[in-house]
Amino acid sequence: MKITIIIPVYNEYSTIDKIVQKILNLKFLDIQLIIVDDCSNDGTVEKLKNLEIFKKINLIIYHSKNQGKGAAIKSAQKFIDGEIVLIQDADLEYHPHNYQKLLEPFLTQNAQIVYGSRVLGKKRYADGSGFVSKSRVFFNHFLTILSNVFNNQKLTDAHTCYKVFKSQIFKKINLEESDFAFCPEITSKISKLNIPIIEVPISYEGRTKKQGKKIGVKDGFRAIYVLFKYRFFSRNV
């Protein structure tokens, strides 16, 4: 089973080589690795072009202007040749040692879509959850509840990075949102296809703004807007 791993990257100079090495160390996987650099300006591009490790990557796409996470994933969509597609952030909040858990339902439960939940089986507000603040936990919880209400789902973590799909499903979804709103968009569109999402528990180690965390309050409000948009105003899938 070949796995296409898509890594959207923006200004991740300090982590991009580390995350790629961790993926390449997983010898049990047959992978196609696609990196999309979203016009980084911190030296990430130079690192991608010059370090020996990046010669092992199947495809690196460079955006000429910064467009957002959703646009980066959309750029990779047409190049997928694996049976399974996995979205991986470049910032080390999500560790590739979770891949075995994420892929197992495709082998044992005939899964079509799997989300890695940061809170499944845990006390959501407990210390050691991986979230850097209780406010982030609360906002994630609120957005997940809203997503469930609008999409008739029962997810515990709708906005996790780890989203894994059968490629024939992922490739037929028309991605429209260019930024972090990719997450609520794709969950909403999956609900319209009436495809169940299986969740598995994953480890998570959140970053602060100072450490490079890019998603913020305005992205949360935009997620709310996008949930309304695809629930009430858009029939597109």
Q: What is the CATH number of the domain that holds 60?
A: 3.90.550.10
Any alpha helices (H) in 86-205, and if so which ranges?
99-108, 134-151, 167-170, 182-192
More confident residue, 6 or 205: 6
CB contact at 8 A, 199 and 120: yes
- Predicted confidence band at 218 (pLDDT cuts at 50, 70, 90)? confident
Q: Which amino acid is residue 211, in one-letter code?
A: Q
What gap in Å lies between CA 37 and CA 25, rounded to an integer?
22
Q: Is residue 66 classed exposed, middle or buried when 0-12, 13-18 and 19+ CB atoms within 10 A define those classes?
A: middle
156 near 119, Cβ under 8 Å?
yes
Higher pLDDT, 208 or 166: 166
Side chain identity at residue 57, one-letter code: I
What is the reported pTM?
A: 0.93
At residue 125, the pLDDT reads 59
pLDDT score, position 192: 94
Q: Is 52 exposed, middle or buried (0-12, 13-18, 19+ CB in 10 A)?
A: exposed
Q: CB neighbours of 25 closer than 8 A, spacing ≥ 6?
A: none
Tell me the average pLDDT across 169-198: 96
* 227: nearest Cα among 115, 143, 162: 143
Kindly tell me the sign of the dihedral angle through the C-alpha atoms of 236, 67, 30, 91.
negative
DSSP letter at 124 equals: T
Residue 135 has pLDDT above 60, yes or no: yes
The answer to whether 36 and 6 have CB atoms below 8 angstroms apart is yes
What is the model's pLDDT at position 138? 87
Q: Is the pLDDT of residue 220 over 90?
A: no
pLDDT confidence of 9, banded at 50, 70, 90? very high
Length of the chain counted residue by residue: 237
How many folded domains does the chain comprise?
1
- Which whole-number Å values give the CA distances from 178 to 37, 68, 184, 210, 220, in the listed order? 14, 5, 12, 24, 15
- Segment among 45-49, 110-114, 190-194, 231-235 with least mean pLDDT: 231-235
Cα–Cα dist 43/41, whole Å = 6
Banded pLDDT at 151 (limits 50, 70, 90): very high
Is the per-residue pLDDT at 206 higher than 60?
yes
For residue 185, what are the domain limits? 2-233
